[in-house]
Amino acid sequence: MELHLYNTLTRRKELFRPIRDGEVRMYHCGPTVYQRPHIGNYRAFLFADLLRRVLELADLKVTQIMNLTDVGHLVDDAEEGDDKLEAQARKDKLDPWQIVETVTEQFFIDMEALNVKRADAYPRATDHIPEMVAMVETLIDKQHAYRVGDNVYFDVHSFPAYGRLSGNRIEDLEAGARLEVNDEKKHPADFALWKSDEHHLMKWDTVFGPHGFPGWHIECSAMSRKFLGDHFDIHTGGEDNVFPHHECEIAQSESVLNGPFVNLWMHTKFLQVDGGKMGKSLGNAYTLDDLSERGYSALDYRFLMMRGSYRTSLNFTWEALKGAAEARRNLNDFRSRLLGESGAEGGVALDAIAADSAVAKARQAFRDALADDLNTSESLAALFMLRNAYVHGKLSASEYPAALTLLDEADGVFGFLDAVESGGLSDQEVDQLIQERGEARAAKDFARADTIRDKLSAANITLEDTPDGVKWFRG
Ligand code: AMP
Ligand code: ZN
């Protein structure tokens, strides 16, 4: 399976060739753990998970690293403003370290609910201060960086390729008045590698002085190098990471390495809400709990994200989520029927089935679409066509086992089907849960109702709302 992936750096789709045969090393910019990530952040993380799963489908061994930013990310991505963690700590009158713990724990709970596969490591910035300091020292030695008091800045004029990723030109950046606030820099577009502030709550005593903390960009240069080596395959983030974050990472890392840093840069377009930007102050920076209160599971959201291309900004609406939940249910139902009514078993060697069979054609379309820069909507369309053929009696019964196997393969990539368990609940227990679900709904406790529904569907129980009340069956 050959993959063509869009590279932000070259601005075109490229045939993906890993640096080492059969192996991919990739790094994702993870959450800044100052507050629970919203559904927009999870769009970026779901993309990272999808990419990993597609690489695995293409038989590549993936090493995947996602960092946790727990210091140095300023409220304003440019040079000024408070550290996001410190600002939150002051606002909540909490210790920033405590916030890091709480938010990180919540992040992992959310990621599990979203069925995101665990990365090989989630390094924290604050655990890698020595690696960052060493890199900054090298940059000073190589005259790519300079000290002003206890602060250290990167000299963008020392790196001719600065601006290649984002398309920004140094002259244009320097013409921007906002950048001229800090006059201790040699050039307005220079950026901080190390900052000093005695009032900062998270600070380190280093060769640069007693009260320092790292700039956000150097964190990812240092951690990716430590976990993936000098030159690795893929680096991802949301579209806002292109500049300044990734532009600065390239400048730092390539200046240290005197060679290439990352081959392929991939960026997820933003999730918008009701056609506009998401924001705390706008009250639309939804979390998974907000979705669950309205009766939607994390997997419904996951499915919604898989329906659109990662390279198109996506507009979140409740209507769209409802549609995604229904479509997901249809695929779940397709699998249940193959398993239950048809008694099909999976485990078919899909590579060996007749090329002109409906399942083989669906599989080809499913894989071709993914190989074309992760075209998930087309890939899903192939599965729905197969389901439609089944529903309309146009799928031959001899193909059921292969269809089931294909659904399993697809679920390995999309990860949205409910877990199948072989029952586990007695009839009385099912009745009891259905009654509790009805009570929870009457009391508008949708989170609980949702949890019960998930529990039932995990036990392979399908519910049907009828005029005579809820009916259920296994499979
Ligand atoms: P942060 O926690 O701000 O460091 O962001 C974590 C990740 O989420 C980064 O890769 C961002 O680019 C990404 N991100 C932030 N907001 C959105 C959004 N609305 N849609 C998609 N990705 C986002
Ligand atoms: Zn980063």
Q: What average pLDDT does the segment 227-249 reach?
A: 97
- At 216 the pLDDT is 93
> What 3 state SS string does the chain have?
CCCEEEECCCCEEEECCCCECCEEEEEECCCECCCCCCHHHHHHHHHHHHHHHHHHHCCCEEEEEECEECCCCECCCCCCCCEHHHHHHHHHCCCHHHHHHHHHHHHHHHHHHCCCCCCCECCEHHHCHHHHHHHHHHHHHCCCEEEECCEEEECHHHCCCCCCCCCCCHHHHHHCHHHHHCCCCCCCCCEEEEEECCCCCCCEEECCEEEEEECHHHHHHHHHHHHHCCCEEEEEEEHHHHHHHHHHHHHHHHHHHCCCCEEEEEEECCEEECCECCCCCCCCCCCHHHHHHCCCCHHHHHHHHHHCCCCCCEEECHHHHHHHHHHHHHHHHHHHHHHCCCCCCCCCCHHHCCCCCHHHHHHHHHHHHHHECCCHHHHHHHHHHHHHHHHCCCCCHHHHHHHHHHHHHHHHHHCCCCCCCCCCCCHHHHHHHHHHHHHHHHCCCHHHHHHHHHHHHHCCEEEEEECCEEEEEEC
Residue 360 lies in a domain: yes
Distance 235 CA to ligand 2 centre (A): 9
Domain match, 394 and 443 both: no
Q: Is the pLDDT of residue 138 over 70?
A: yes
Minimum CA distance residue for ligand 1 atom 8: 41
Distance 30 CA to ligand 2 centre (A): 7
Q: Which atom of ligand 1 is nearest to the CA of 270?
A: 20
Q: Which atom of ligand 1 is nearest to the CA of 28?
A: 10
CATH number reported for the structural domain that contains residue 334 in this entry: 1.10.730.10
Ligand nearest to the backbone CA of 273: 1
Output the CA torsion sign for 67, 71, 72, 76: positive
Residue 13 lies in a domain: yes
What are the pLDDT digits (tens) for 277-333? 887 677 789 999 999 999 999 999 999 999 999 999 999 999 999 999 999 999 999
Minimum CA distance residue for ligand 1 atom 14: 41
Domain match, 219 and 325 both: no
Minimum CA distance residue for ligand 1 atom 3: 32
**Lowest pLDDT segment from 7-11, 92-96, 106-110:** 92-96
pLDDT band of residue 77 (cuts 50, 70, 90) is low
Q: Which atom of ligand 1 is nearest to the CA of 44?
A: 22
**Lowest pLDDT segment from 33-37, 93-97, 107-111, 309-313:** 93-97
Pocket test for ligand 1, best of 8, 41, 107 (most atoms within 8 A of CB): 41
Q: Which atom of ligand 1 is nearest to the CA of 34?
A: 2
What are the pLDDT digits (tens) for 34-71? 999 999 999 999 999 999 999 999 999 999 999 999 98
Ligand nearest to the backbone CA of 30: 1
Residue 282 lies in a domain: no
Ligand nearest to the backbone CA of 245: 2
Domain match, 118 and 217 both: yes
Distance 395 CA to ligand 2 centre (A): 47
Distance 261 CA to ligand 2 centre (A): 14
Ligand nearest to the backbone CA of 236: 1
Higher pLDDT, 287 or 422: 287
Domain that holds residue 321: 288-414
Residue 54 lies in a domain: yes
Pocket test for ligand 1, best of 74, 75, 240, 243 (most atoms within 8 A of CB): 240
Residue 24 lies in a domain: yes
Residue 280 lies in a domain: no
Distance 245 CA to ligand 2 centre (A): 7
Domain match, 408 and 432 both: no
- Total number of domains constituting the chain: 3
Q: Which atom of ligand 1 is nearest to the CA of 69?
A: 4
81 within 8 A of 75, measured Cβ to Cβ:
yes
Ligand nearest to the backbone CA of 271: 1
- At 181 the pLDDT is 60
pTM above 0.85, yes or no: yes
Residue 196 lies in a domain: yes
Q: Is the pLDDT of residue 462 over 90?
A: no
- At 310 the pLDDT is 97
Distance 2 CA to ligand 1 centre (A): 29
Distance 44 CA to ligand 1 centre (A): 6
Distance 96 CA to ligand 1 centre (A): 20
What are the pLDDT digits (tens) for 172-193? 888 875 645 667 899 999 999 9
CB-defined site of ligand 1, < 6 Å: 29, 31-32, 40-41, 43-44, 69, 73, 237-238, 240-241, 268, 270-271, 278
- At 350 the pLDDT is 94
Domain match, 256 and 294 both: no
Name the range with the highest mean pLDDT among 87-101, 251-265, 429-443: 251-265
- Point out the domain boundary residue: 268, 300, 327: 268
Q: Is the pLDDT of residue 427 over 80?
A: no
Distance 448 CA to ligand 1 centre (A): 29
Domain match, 342 and 378 both: yes
Residue 274 lies in a domain: no
Domain match, 303 and 258 both: no
Q: Judge if the upstream peptide bond of residue 130 is cis by omega within 30 degrees of 0.
A: no
Q: Which atom of ligand 1 is nearest to the CA of 278?
A: 19
Domain match, 342 and 195 both: no
Q: Is the pLDDT of residue 422 over 50?
A: no
18 within 8 A of 2, measured Cβ to Cβ:
no
Distance 288 CA to ligand 1 centre (A): 15
Domain match, 243 and 133 both: yes
Minimum CA distance residue for ligand 1 atom 11: 238
Domain match, 374 and 461 both: no
Separation CA 416–CA 53 (nearest Å):
13
Q: What average pLDDT does the segment 228-244 reach?
A: 97
Distance 224 CA to ligand 2 centre (A): 9
CATH number reported for the structural domain that contains residue 126 in this entry: 3.40.50.620
Domain match, 114 and 170 both: yes
Ligand nearest to the backbone CA of 216: 2
